[in-house]
Amino acid sequence: MTKKNWWQEAVVYQVYPMSFQDSDGDGIGDIGGLTQRLPYIKQLGADVIWLNPIYCSPNKDNGYDISDCQNIQPTYGTMAQYDEMLETAHKLGLKIMMDLVVNHTSDQHQWFIESKKSKDNPYRDYYIWHDPVDGHEPNNWGSFFSGSAWKFDEATGQYFLHLFADVQPDLNWENPVVRNEVWDLMTFWLDKGIDGFRMDVINLISKTAGLPDIPKPDNAIYSDATAVANGPRLNEFLQEMNSKVLSHYDVMTVGEMPGATPEKAQEYTNLKGDELNMVFQFEHIALTPNPDERLTKWNDAKVKLTDLKASLSKWQIGLDGKGWNSLYWNNHDQPRAVSRFATDDPKYRVKAAKMLGTTLHMLQGTPYIYQGEEIGMTNVKLDDISQYEDIETLNAYQQFVVEEKIVDKETMMRYFATMSRDHARTPMQWASAENAGFTTGKPWFNLNPNYTDINVEAALADDDSVFYYYQKLIQLRHEHELIVYGNYEAIDSEDNDVFAYRRHYNGQTLLVLSNFTNQTVMRDYGQNDANQVLISNYTDNKNNVLRPYETQVYLFE
Ligand code: ISL
């Protein structure tokens, strides 16, 4: 790695605005609330905030169905409040990264309203329309949110493509006019002074020519990111975006890329810098697919540590010196990290949350913290399908339980209890007071009842909290180039209890040991000869002993 960049040394904090902080009592988080909480994010020590979509939206997919991307959703506030938030963030030394959603729009976007009107409407080619083939859908592509990815429009007799919900039609990136619209939209926000973009499913924008079927027995409808992602013109589109827009600003970019491999990510995050800075890859969060592949991610299996290690090690080594990793355990689409990868058993939750944070933050790449992770927030227990909100969850229930009956209700509810996106979306737990200090009104979504114990107020009052531990992890990264740039060496990949690795940089070595079990284990990696323990979640490190969920970071100089 020759050139060092600020975004390689940064730590990102993700804010899901709907669930972060309400400032006007309507029960929905908003920009005013975020502005109030900026000093909290600063106190944690993060450098950048990734803000999920706040644009006008019918909110069928919580803002990922945008009807106007140059205006603010009224429930979130006004553009004046946004500008004030941006200015306040910058004064505090915090950067703001916006969500760019341009694989699709809402069906309520003016472009789609026009596009739907007739086959010769000037906006028709903004979207992907297709005649029926033999009287049915043009191919067997499935939507990620259940059912076919095609919807028939009676009025014009054609299907349109929607890789997500049918209210999220895909834009036609083959059309240069569409690309110019996107460059204009990006420029609008960049000229306001924002500091980067997280790009929603950006590796789905280039569709394979001829839209061929995904090879499947009986030509079944099936959603498969690896089959529809990384299309033939993706590098070209990203390079055009870079030369026309990004290269004119000093900003940070991360492309969300289901189905990306390290080889592909090397291209997208290449060190020439002519595409993106980093990608969100999905491999380590997709290690427990259901054996019945129609059910895709819906499962309740625990991740095997050896699989997790193999996956993360592959990406660490695959991008070293060739690209750049982003590091994350969870986000607004994933269950809570501590529940999924370790344990939310109250006996170990705090230790486990610190252990997971350490394992991730000591890797090479840019770490992302999802709101609430820094206080060890957990999955929520929802007993009935009526308590869920998320479109992916609700559609899956409808398709697999109600219509196709390929799984029974109890089993599916268990899968949701493990994997639903709603676990991430319960409101932020600020205090033990009513509604967790999130709102003075009625929260738009269930609070996790454990807010009385797990909340920011309690974390800030406790020297030994997950919050202060994360603060220290961030500080260490800011102090040690070894943590940012060092290369990665895997240790004992067959060990299913301990995640151990080394990092090397300019003659220094870092040794990271994390016990992923609730048992005490012994491991000797020469840690007794280290010059320093940089951080640990137990105070009195014992020779070669790793107690339940113990994590230790050693520096050798
Ligand atoms: O959540 C998922 C799997 O766990 C995916 O299906 C998810 O939808 C996919 O990761 C893409 O996510 C992004 O685009 C979606 C939006 O619903 C997600 O919130 C967003 O992060 C469509 O815009």
Which of these is catalytic: 65, 107, 137, 256? 256
Q: How far is the CA of 411 from the centre of ligand 1 (A)?
A: 23
**CA–CA separation, 306 vs 538, rounded Å?**
24
What is the Cα–Cα distance from 358 to 376, expressed in whole angstroms? Answer: 13
| Distances, alpha carbon 79 to alpha carbons 69, 139, 406, in Å | 12, 42, 47
If one counts every other C-beta atom within 10 angstroms of the C-beta of residue 436, the result is: 24
Instruction: For 6-104+177-470, give the CATH class.
Output: alpha beta
The CATH fold of domain 110-161: Oligo-1,6-glucosidase; domain 2 (3.90.400)
Looking at residue 27, its amino acid is: G
Output the pLDDT for position 1.
46
Q: Cα(202)–Cα(199) distance, rounded to whole angstroms?
A: 6
Cα–Cα dist 469/254, whole Å: 26
Which residue among 107, 200, 344, 390 is the active-site one?
A: 200
User: How far apart, in whole angstroms, are the C-alpha atoms of residue 271 and residue 15?
Assistant: 28
The two three-digit tokens of residue 516, written as one number: 């992923």
pLDDT tens-digit profile of 29-66? 999 999 999 999 999 999 999 999 999 999 999 999 99
Collapsed DSSP state (helix, strand, coil) of residue 105: coil
Residues 6+ apart with CB under 8 A from 54: 17, 31, 63, 72, 73, 76, 82
Phi, then psi, of 96 in degrees rounded to 5: -120, 125
Ligand 1 within 6 A of CB of 415: no
Name 159's bridge partners.
Answer: 130, 152
Contact between residue 345 and residue 289 where contact means Cβ atoms under 8 Å apart: no
Any catalytic annotation for residue 410?
A: no
Q: Is 205 exposed, middle or buried (0-12, 13-18, 19+ CB in 10 A)?
A: buried
Any ligand 1 atom below 6 A from CB of 173: no
- Predicted local distance difference test score (pLDDT) of residue 2: 54
Beta bridge partners of 130: 159
Q: Is 61 in the pocket of ligand 1 (CB under 6 A)?
A: yes
Centre of ligand 1 to C-alpha 103, Å, is 11
How far does CA 334 lie from the centroid of its chain? 7
- Atom number of ligand 1 nearest to Cα 65: 23
Q: Please give the ipTM for the structure prediction.
A: 0.96
Ligand 1 contact, 333 CB (< 6 A): yes
Identify whether 236 is a catalytic site residue.
no
Query: How far apart (Å, rounded) are the C-alpha atoms in residues 199 and 258?
Result: 12
Ligand 1 touching residue 285 (CB < 6 A): no
- Return d(Cα 154, Cα 164) in angstroms, integer: 20
- Lookup result for tokens 């090690």: 313
Mutation probe of ligand 1 site: the residue of 64, 104, 109 with most atoms within 8 A of C-beta: 64
Q: Which residues pair with 176 in a beta bridge?
A: none
Q: What's the chain's length in residues?
A: 557
Question: Quick one: 488-556 is in which CATH superfamily?
Answer: Golgi alpha-mannosidase II (2.60.40.1180)
Alpha-carbon distance of 86 to 76, in angstroms, equals 14
Q: How far apart, in whole angstroms, are the C-alpha atoms of residue 34 and residue 40?
A: 10
Sorted by where each begins, the domain ranges of the chain are 6-104+177-470, 110-161, 488-556
Q: Name the residue with the closest Cα to ligand 1, atom 16.
A: 64
| Atom of ligand 1 lying closest to residue 419 CA | 4
Three-class SS state of 133 = strand
pLDDT tens digits for the chain (557 residues)? 457 999 999 999 999 999 999 999 999 999 999 999 999 999 999 999 999 999 999 999 999 999 999 999 999 999 999 999 999 999 999 999 999 999 999 999 999 999 999 999 999 999 999 999 999 999 999 999 989 999 999 999 999 999 999 999 999 999 999 999 999 999 999 999 999 999 999 999 999 989 999 988 777 787 888 889 999 999 999 999 999 999 999 999 999 999 999 999 999 999 899 999 999 999 999 999 999 988 999 999 999 999 999 999 999 999 999 999 999 999 999 999 999 999 999 999 999 999 999 999 999 999 999 999 999 999 999 999 999 999 999 999 999 999 999 999 999 999 999 999 999 999 999 999 999 999 999 999 999 999 999 999 999 999 999 999 999 999 999 999 999 999 999 999 999 999 999 999 999 999 999 999 999 999 999 999 999 999 999 998 878 999 999 999 999 99
CA of 333 to the centre of ligand 1 (A): 6
Given its phi and psi angles, is residue 389 left (phi above 0), alpha (psi -120 to 50 degrees) or beta?
alpha
Sign of CA dihedral 229, 259, 48, 68: positive
What count of other Cβ atoms lies within 10 Å of the Cβ of residue 362?
A: 28
Q: Is the CB of 259 under 6 A from ligand 1?
A: no
Does ligand 1 come within 6 angstroms of the Cβ of 65? no
Helical residues (DSSP H) of 451-490, grouped into ranges: 456-460, 466-479, 481-485
The model's pTM is 0.98
Tell whether ligand 1 has an atom less than 6 A from the beta carbon of residue 370.
no
Question: Rounded CA gap, 28 and 22, in Å?
Answer: 5
